[in-house]
Amino acid sequence: MTHNFDTVIIGSGLAGLRAAIEAAKHGTVAVLTKLYPTRSHSTAAQGGIAAALGNEEPDSPEWHFYDTAKGSDFLGDQAAIEVMCEDAIRTVIELEHMGVPFSRTPEGKIAQRRFGGHTRDFGAAAVRRACYSADRTGHAILFALYEQSGLQGVKFFDEFHVLDIAVEEGGCGGVIALEIKTGEIHMFSAKATLVASGGYGRVYKTTSNAIASTGDCLGILFRTGVPLQDMEFFQFHPTGLYGLGILVTEGARGEGGILVNREGERFMERYAPTIKDLAPRDMVSRAIMTEVREGRGIDGRDFVHLDLRGIKRGILEERLPEITTFCKIYMGLDPALAPIPVLPTAHYAMGGIPTDIDGRVFKDEKGGVVEGLFAAGECACVSVHGANRLGCNSLLDTVVFGRRAGMEIGRFLKSAEPGGIGGDLARRTVEGHASMQGRSGTEKAPEIRSELQKRMTDECSVFRHREDLEKLVAEIRALERRAAGIGIKDAGKRFNTEVLEAIELSHLLALSEVIALSALRREESRGAHSREDFPKRDDVNWLKHTLAFRTEKGIELRHKPVSITKFKPVERKY
Ligand SMILES: Cc1cc2nc3c(=O)[nH]c(=O)nc-3n(C[C@H](O)[C@H](O)[C@H](O)COP(=O)(O)OP(=O)(O)OC[C@H]3O[C@@H](n4cnc5c(N)ncnc54)[C@H](O)[C@@H]3O)c2cc1C
């Protein structure tokens, strides 16, 4: 079946929906999502969205800008960071007007709490900057945006899995997607295509990310020649429930929770004397892993405790109800009475599809763009998070840059040529998909995926080393060869999740290789990328972005400069 829209958006998370609301002012919009829209990972966001409203104590967008640049270990593009932080206050008020039920101060203003790396007076002390809706902030925002997009006439294609994006001859003409329910392939011609397909935490074994966070569209675009930026930077959130990786929001520490080791010591005092448990995530994750490695994990084991017993039960119930329930269900403990076993969990992809501040996708390191192609949200790399994202800055990023991309699409549509998918590409996709279904072979996608996730976790997580990374690259290539022998037993067309799993695995493998190679190449430690064999940050050689390209000879890495406008890189102390 063929469809025609002015704009096609892949993804119904916050970025896709915010863009859709904007683009719908300028033409017809389709949103394609492989899930039911409100099951996008954005709904899982707990802690909040950052904006220097100053509702609880003095704050300023400039401090937010400084914190974000410093938090990024100075790899974030400051021109973009400034745009985001300056727009944050307007953004949150707009969300409030769209119907987001934010938690309130006693006098009725939007309540704010502390979060990692957010400070006043350029690092003097932690500041209350995170606006929240208890610990269900993503859920609250997503439902408001979903409702608004319906009102704007956005057409949703639920449970449509995108198989290909028509990037041909320097431009993008639309999207090819599989209707999961029927197995039918649909062609979506579009003048503008926006990718808002979220993160890819599923490259790791222990992750806070949803099952669906497999980075499909990054894999697809990479295949077409679009580069991927800064893929070596993957954030590990310090407090995943031990053994499960389910997230306990940083808001728990924002409300007064502390991390302790086997000696009962509040160890973050040693690593970040000023803001302690509210240091940025890269530092707290490294601190936890160091405690564990040096034998100070609880009972000498591989976890530490997050102690929320200092928080009043009333506050826990009012502001952290979700994680209180998680602890009861998954760990069998009440956080008001017992400390929570935690370990870092793979959480957020700083790297992704390179874009400018209006969502246009770069095709090279010189600033050339792919006509008609846009990206926003976690799949994109603007780059506001650089080498390490601050908590609450991602929800902000999705909404600020989702809106900007939608506005840019409006401008683009005025003179855009009609979209269209080349006959060759359409045929290749249909035939390729059909041949997958009949594939015989002895390998199974879930087994290869588990092996990949384990390797990535063991060899490319909080700490990295050349020997491990070299080994990892070879292992990923071997797994890629094994994946060519995957057999598909389900011959049916309806809900053929076996085929979808094999497709998702192909993207996980491709992205893992880029992550490993980019990590191997970057011979320094910066933000979330911590090389044990190069423990120092090296601004002389490495204050630059990595761009990975797929070429006929394999993956090629190139670089481009970082935008530094206001804050010169200094040593990061907290
Ligand atoms: C547990 C958790 C808690 C978090 N808490 C916070 C927080 O408190 N504050 C904060 O700032 N950030 C938080 N984050 C990060 C933040 O939530 C995400 O970065 C952000 O929501 C991503 O939004 P998105 O719109 O880019 O993508 P997502 O919300 O992940 O949506 C991706 C969309 O793409 C679609 N899609 C993907 N592939 C395909 C395909 N092949 N075909 C069709 N559709 C496809 C999916 O169906 C989905 O609709 C948290 C993240 C997690 C995992």
Average pLDDT, the chain: 97
pLDDT tens column, 285-300: 999 999 999 999 999 9
Query: Stretch 38-59: mean pLDDT, rounded?
Result: 97
- Which residue's CA is minimally distant from atom 51 of ligand 1? 45
Distance CA 78, CA 177 (A): 36
- What is the distance in angstroms between the CA of the first residue and the CA of the last residue of the chain? 56
Q: Which secondary-structure segment (H or E) carries 45?
A: none
Active-site option among 128, 281, 403, 404: 281
Q: Which residues surround ligand 1 with Cβ inside 6 Å?
A: 10-16, 32-35, 40-42, 44-49, 137-138, 160-162, 196-199, 208-209, 212, 216-217, 247, 249, 348, 377-379, 391-395, 398
Pocket test for ligand 1, best of 32, 38, 39, 40 (most atoms within 8 A of CB): 40
Indicate which residue's Cα is closest to atom 21 of ligand 1: 42
Best of 41, 141, 157, 241 to mutate for ligand 1, by most ligand atoms within 8 A of CB? 41
What's the gap in Å between 414 CA and the centre of ligand 1? 30
Q: Is the peptide bond before 383 cis (omega within 30 degrees of 0)?
A: yes
3-state secondary structure 113-182: EEEEEEEECCCCEEEEEEECCCCCHHHHHHHHHHHHHHHCCCEEEECEEEEEEEEECCEEEEEEEEECCC
- Closest Cα to atom 15, ligand 1: which residue? 394
- What residues are paired with 179 via a beta bridge? 160
> What is the rounded distance in angstroms from the CA atom of residue 290 to the CA atom of residue 284?
10
Tens digit of each residue's pLDDT (9 = 90 or more) over 321-356: 999 999 999 999 999 999 999 999 999 999 999 999
Alpha carbon nearest to ligand 1 atom 35, residue: 11
Q: Output phi, psi for 280, to 5 deg.
A: -60, 160
SS3 of residue 418 by DSSP: coil
Residue 93 clears pLDDT 90, i.e. is over it: yes
Q: Look at residues 15, 24, 127 and name the one whose alpha carbon lies nearest to residue 67.
A: 127
Closest residue CA from atom 3 of ligand 1: 45
The per-residue pLDDT for 398 is 98
CB 38 within 8 A of CB 146: yes
Q: Which atom of ligand 1 is nearest to the CA of 209?
A: 53
Give the tens place of pLDDT for each residue, 119-155: 999 999 999 999 999 999 999 999 999 999 999 999 9
Q: Which domains does the chain have, with CATH numbers?
A: 238-346 (3.90.700.10), 434-551 (1.20.58.100)
Where does residue 230 fall: left (phi above 0), alpha (psi -120 to 50 degrees), or beta otherwise? left
Whether 574 has a pLDDT exceeding 90, the answer reads: yes
Report the C-alpha gap between 166 and 221 in whole angstroms: 9
Other C-beta atoms within 10 Å of 147: how many? 12
Q: Which amino acid is at 276?
A: K
Prediction pTM value: 0.97
Average pLDDT of the segment spanning 372-395: 98
CA distance 498 to 154: 30
Cα(139)–Cα(136) distance, rounded to whole angstroms? Answer: 5
User: Counting atoms of ligand 1 from 1, which one is nearest the CA of 210?
Assistant: 53
- How far apart are the CA of 160 and the centre of ligand 1, in A? 17
Indicate whether 173 pLDDT > 90: yes
Q: For residue 539, how far is its CA from the centre of ligand 1 (angstroms)?
A: 32
SS3 assignment for 107-127: CCCECEEEEEEEEECCCCEEE
Cβ atoms 483, 475 nearer than 8 A: no
Proportion of the chain above pLDDT 70, given as a percent: 100
From ligand 1's centre to the CA of 377, what distance in Å? 8
Distance 40 CA to ligand 1 centre (A): 6
E strand or H helix at 339: none
Instruction: Tell me the pLDDT band of 169, cut-offs 50, 70 and 90.
Output: confident
Q: Give the C-alpha distances (Å, rounded to integers) separating 25 from 16, 28, 33, 395, 438.
A: 15, 8, 21, 23, 44
What atom of ligand 1 comes closest to residue 138's alpha carbon? Answer: 17
95's tokens: 């969300």
User: pLDDT tens digit string along 473-517?
Assistant: 999 999 999 999 999 999 899 999 999 999 999 999 999 999 999
For ligand 1, atom 52, name the residue with the nearest CA.
45
- For the CA of 347, the nearest atom of ligand 1: 53
Reference 220, options 157, 156, 161; nearest CA is 161
Distances (CA, A) of 463 to 85, 511, 532, 534, 571: 30, 19, 7, 11, 20
Percent helix, percent strand, percent coil in the chain, to nearest 5: 40, 25, 40
Helices assigned H by DSSP within 303-438 = 313-319, 321-326, 393-413, 423-437
Check residue 437 and give its pLDDT: 84
Kindly tell me if the per-residue pLDDT of 438 is higher than 90. Answer: no
Alpha carbon distances (Å) from 72 to 76, 77, 269: 5, 9, 22
Measured between alpha carbons, how far is 548 from 527 in angstroms, rounded to an integer? 19
CA of 208 to the centre of ligand 1 (A): 11
In the residue annotation, 537 being an active-site residue is answered as no
Closest atom, ligand 1, to C-alpha of 247: 1
Q: What pLDDT, on a 0 to 100 scale, did the predictor assign at position 170?
A: 85
The ligand 1 atom at the shortest distance from the C-alpha of residue 246 is: 1
Q: Which ranges of 225-280 does DSSP label H, i.e. alpha helix?
A: 251-254, 268-271
Angle (deg, nearest 10), helices 78-98 and 61-71: 120
Q: How far is the CA of 439 from the centre of ligand 1 (A)?
A: 32
374 with 361: CB under 8 angstroms?
yes
Ligand 1 centroid distance, CA of 534 (Å):
32
> How much is the pLDDT for 104?
97
CA angle 220, 226, 229 (to 5 degrees): 105
Whether residue 388 is predicted with pLDDT greater than 90 in this model: the reply is yes
Residue 212: predicted pLDDT? 96
